[in-house]
Structure 1
Amino acid sequence: MQHSPSFDPSDVQTNKGMAILAYILFFVPLIAAPNSPFAKYHANQGLTLFLTCVALNIVLGFIPFLGWVLLPFANLGCFVLLIIGILSAAQGGAKPLPIIGKYTLIK
């Protein structure tokens, strides 16, 4: 069972907007708030989600018929994970995304 990391409440309050933005443009918090562990955590989650969705689209796009049928469901799953991440960041939480949240790409 993966637990949620804890962050300084002032960091969370200050960088909540950056954390939300991390799910849309993961690199912006890394530039705008490089010293915020909270923003960096969500930037990592956003990058992981982005790479997962790109990989799913490439792989399923190349598989005739079955891949093309599964592609909309994969994109729906990506969208659901995006909403989960944005809601978590907006609430000041740091709960890992289901399935893909355990991977750390940004140290």
Structure 2
Amino acid sequence: MTTRGEAYALTLAFTTFVLFQFFNVFNARNEHGSTFNSHFLANGKLWSALGAVLALQILVVHWPEAQAVFATTHLTAEDWVKAALVASSVLLLDEGRKLAQRRYWRRA
């Protein structure tokens, strides 16, 4: 990773935190069962809101006027992928927890 300064580090951290919340929304949809069920795509309003969040985050990171207001800087596609992979861990880990709980409850 090339050293790009404080603005880069803060932008990457901010984007990762936004994406953490993006993925965490799915954890809140089902406390015990898997998020990835037949109703995963059913809530159009949720998907619209998530699309708006992503669009706004892209604007904040890549639109010069928003960069000036939020003190952000450009991220590369690789940066976005890294942020998404790190942030998706909140969903994957919680899915693992729920799976382990369901297996435990079946045995009990």
TM-score, normalization: structure 2? 0.40
Max radius of gyration: which structure?
2
- Higher RCO (Cα < 8 Å, 6 or more apart): 2
TM-score, normalization: structure 1? 0.40
